Amino acid sequence: MFVAIVNRVLREFENRTTSPTTVKRAARLAEKFLKRENDAAILSEIQTRRLRRTIHYVYRRSPFYCEMFDRVGVHPSDIRTADDLRKLPLTTSKNIRDWRCFLCVPEDELAAVFTTSGTTGEPKRVYYSFRDMQTLTILDAVALRIGHPGRLVALIALPMSHGLWMGAATAQRVVERAGGLPIPVGADDPQETLKWMQRFEPNVMMSSPSYMTALTCEAERAEYRPKLERILLGGEVLTNEQKARFREYWGAAVYDSYGSTEIGGAQTIALPECTAFNMNDLHLVTEIVNPETGEPANEGELVFTTLTREAMPLVRYRSGDHGRWADCPCRLPFNAVQLAGRTDDMFVAGDMNLYGNVIADAVAKVAGTSGRVVLRLDKVELTDRLTVRVEGRGVNADDVRNALFAAYPELRVNTANGNLILEIETDVDLGRQIKALKIVDGRK
List CB contacts of 36: < 8 A, sequence separation 6 or more: none
Q: Where are the beta strands (DSSP E) in 204-350?
A: 204-207, 230-233, 253-256, 268-269, 277-279, 284-289, 299-306, 317-326, 336-342, 346-349
427 sits in which H/E element: strand 420-428
Answer yes or no: are the C-beta atoms of 282 and 47 closer than 8 Å: yes
More confident residue, 423 or 371: 423
100 sits in which H/E element: none
| Whole-structure pTM value | 0.84
162: pLDDT strictly greater than 60: no
Helices 409-416, 397-407: axis angle to 10 degrees equals 110
CA–CA dist 37, 429 (Å, integer): 60
CA–CA dist 245, 215 (Å, integer): 12
CA–CA dist 430, 437 (Å, integer): 11
1: pLDDT strictly greater than 80: no
CA–CA dist 218, 28 (Å, integer): 37
What is the per-residue pLDDT across 301-354, written as a single tens digit (0 to 9) for each? 999 999 999 999 999 999 988 899 999 998 788 999 998 777 778 888 988 888
Task: Put the strands of the sheet holding 277-279 in their side by side order.
Answer: 268-269, 277-279, 336-342, 317-326, 299-306, 284-289
Answer yes or no: are the C-beta atoms of 339 and 275 closer than 8 Å: no
Q: What is the pLDDT of residue 150?
A: 93
DSSP states of 2-69 as a string? HHHHHHHHHHHHHHS---HHHHHHHHHHHHHHHT-TTHHHHHHHHHHHHHHHHHHHHHHH-HHHHHHH
347-441 has the same fold as 1-344: no
Residue 250: CB atoms within 10 Å: 21
Q: Which residues pair with 278 in a beta bridge?
A: 269, 336
Closest by alpha carbon to 442, among 375, 395, 393?
375
Ranking 30-39, 50-59, 233-242, 368-377 by mean pLDDT, the lowest is 30-39
Q: What is the pLDDT of residue 385?
A: 96
- Looking at every residue in the chain, the average pLDDT score rounds to 90
List CB contacts of 137: < 8 A, sequence separation 6 or more: 170, 173, 174, 177
Q: How buried is residue 90: exposed, middle or buried, by Cβ count under 10 Å (0-12/13-18/19+)?
A: middle
Using only the alpha carbons of the chain, give its radius of gyration. Answer: 22
What is the per-residue pLDDT across 136-149, written as a single tens digit (0 to 9) for each? 898 899 989 998 99
Closest by alpha carbon to 296, among 320, 327, 325?
325
Q: Domain ranges for the chain, please list them.
A: 1-344, 347-441
Q: Look up residue 90 and give its DSSP letter.
A: P
Q: What is the pLDDT of residue 444?
A: 63
33: pLDDT strictly greater than 80: no
212 sits in which H/E element: helix 209-221
Q: How buried is residue 229: exposed, middle or buried, by Cβ count under 10 Å (0-12/13-18/19+)?
A: middle
3-class DSSP state for residue 262? coil
50: pLDDT strictly greater than 70: yes
List CB contacts of 101: < 8 A, sequence separation 6 or more: 62, 63, 64
Q: What is the pLDDT of residue 101?
A: 97
Assign 120 a pLDDT band (cuts: 50, 70, 90): very low
CATH fold label, 347-441: GMP Synthetase; Chain A, domain 3 (3.30.300)
Closest by alpha carbon to 196, among 253, 143, 157?
157
Domain 1-344, CATH number (from 3.40.50.12590, 3.90.1150.10, 1.10.287.110, 3.40.50.12780): 3.40.50.12780
Answer yes or no: are the C-beta atoms of 141 and 19 closer than 8 Å: no
3-class DSSP state for residue 285? strand
118: pLDDT strictly greater than 50: no
